[in-house]
Amino acid sequence: MKIDLITLFPEMAEGFLNHSMMKRAVAGGQASFGWVNPRDFATDKHRMTDDRPFGGGPGMVMKPEPLFTAVESVRTANSRVILLSPSGAVFKQATAERLSLAGEHLIFICGHYEGVDERVCEGLVDEELSIGDYVLTNGALAAVVVVDAIVRLLPGVLGGGEEATGNESFSTGLLDYPQYTRPPEFRGMKVPDVLLSGDHGAIEQWRQEQAIARTQARREDLLKLNREKDENNT
C-alpha cells in the first residue's frame, strides 16, 4: 500500500513513520510512505499556503490552490483522499480495518490553522476523519495515528497472521483482557493461577470474562453497541 501525506510539516510525520513497525512495513514491502509539502506548490513570492477567512474571524485558513495541486501531483485513479479534520467521522478500529483493505493508495491531507477551504472538501476529499473530540495544532499528528492503525493490519507487518490482531481491543467489540508475562510474582503481585494452569479452555473462559468485565467498567458504551448489533442481526 502506498500512503502519501500532504502536510506543511513533513519532518514530523517522517520521524514517526521511519521507526518501529512502520519501518518494518517499508522494509517488507507492505507499505511505502511519501510526503508532499503544499508550500512547494504555492505560486506567490512568499509561498503562502493560508489566508484570512472571508467574513472575518480568528486564525487563518489553508488556501485551495496549493492543496489541490499537491494532491493532484500524486493522485491516481486508485487513490482515496482523506482529510484529517475535527469535523470528520470518528476514526475507529473498524475504519482502520476497512481502509487497510481499501486498495493501493491512500492520500491524507493534514489540516492546519483554522482548517482548510471548504472547496478542498467538495472537490478533492473522499472522506473526512477525526481521531477524537479535541483539537490539535495540525493534522500531521492525527495522520500518523491513523496510518499506524491501518498499516499494522496489513498482512505480514506484525507477523502471526490474523491471530496477531484478531483479539485486540475493539477488534471483538470489547476491550482486551489483562495481559501478564514473567516473572509470575512481582512485588507481591501474582499472575492469576489460571494463566499458569495450562488449561487452555479455562484460560479462554477467564480471558472472555475479564474482557467483558473490563469493558463494563471502562467502556459501557461498547457493550451497548454490541447489544444493539446483536438485536439488529436477530
What confidence tens digit (pLDDT) does each residue in 200-234 have?
Answer: 999 999 999 999 999 999 999 999 888 887 777 76
Each residue's pLDDT tens digit, 55-69: 999 999 999 999 999
Domains of the chain listed by start with CATH number: 2-151 (3.40.1280.10), 167-232 (1.10.1270.20)
The strand pair at 105-110 and 127-130 is best described as unpaired
Residue where the block lists cell 519532518: 11
Mean pLDDT, rounded, for 176-192: 96
What is the reported pLDDT for 161? 57
Q: What is the mean pLDDT of residues 121-128?
A: 97
* Sequence-ordered list of residues with C-beta below 8 angstroms from that of 224, at least 6 positions apart, any chain: none
**Residue 74 CB burial class (10 angstroms; 0-12, 13-18, ≥19):** middle
Q: What is the per-residue pLDDT for 204? A: 97
| Out of 36-45, 87-96, 156-165, least confident range | 156-165
How many Cβ atoms sit within 10 Å of the Cβ of residue 67? 25
pLDDT for 165 beyond 80: no
Residue 75, pLDDT > 70, answer: yes
| pLDDT of res. 232 | 76
Return the closest-CA partner of residue 138 out of 108, 117, 116, 113.
Answer: 113
Among 23-27, 174-178, 222-226, name the most confident range.
Answer: 23-27
- Report if pTM > 0.85: yes
What mean pLDDT is reported for the chain?
Answer: 92
Q: Which residues contact 37 (CB under 8 A, 6 or more apart)?
A: 7, 8, 10, 70
Give the SS3 label for residue 62: strand
Measure the CA–CA gap between 131 and 200, rounded to whole angstroms.
Answer: 37
Predicted pLDDT at 30: 96
Per-residue pLDDT for 186 more than 60?
A: yes
